[in-house]
Amino acid sequence: MWLQRDITLRPRGRGFHLVTGEVAEALPEVGDLRAGLLHLFIRHTSASLTLNENASPDVRADFEAFFDDAVREDAPYWTHTMEGPDDMPAHVKASLLGPSLSLPIASGRLALGTWQGIYLCEHRDRGGARSLLATVLGEAG
């Protein structure tokens, strides 16, 4: 089975946002698969996807603190500055975290670990709605 679906994530502020439930609800067909993969792809270069701790909001706040410190808006070497001070750091953060997640599907469910959740990583101050393309492939149950 191959299925593709566009998922639009509503605008969110700069930071790390848990979107596991939103993504799972958009893909009920995952329930039909015995074994498979979900490929989630973000069609932007200033936002990214990662998987991390799904319980504590302070983990997500600390992610923002870390990445803001590691990829500084005031770094002296930026030359691509026309689109604002958050733009070039957003591009770098997006590549450090990556534009896609490949997640296993087993027995009709995303086979995530107990503590794993999907983060939308919004690196712009005002990134707007974000467009994902989900590809589901696998073997029916």
Task: Provide the binding-site residues for a second copy, judged by CB under 8 A.
Answer: 2-4, 34-37, 39, 41-45, 50-53, 56, 58-59, 61-63, 65-66, 69-71, 75, 77-80, 88, 91-92, 94-104, 106, 111-116, 119, 131, 133, 135, 137-139
Residue entry with tokens 């030359």: 79
Query: Containing H/E element for 51?
Result: strand 47-53
Q: Between 23 and 94, name the residue whose CB sits nearer to a second copy.
A: 94
Q: How far is the CB of 66 from a second copy (least distance, A)?
A: 5
Q: How far is the CB of 115 from a second copy (least distance, A)?
A: 5
Q: Between 32 and 52, name the residue whose CB sits nearer to a second copy.
A: 52
Question: What distances in angstroms separate CA 131 from CA 36, 42, 47, 94, one per listed residue?
Answer: 23, 6, 10, 14
Are 137 and 37 in contact by the 8 Å Cβ rule? The answer is yes
Phi, psi values for residue 67, rounded to 5°: -70, -35
Q: How far is the CB of 59 from a second copy (least distance, A)?
A: 5
Are 101 and 24 in contact by the 8 Å Cβ rule? The answer is no
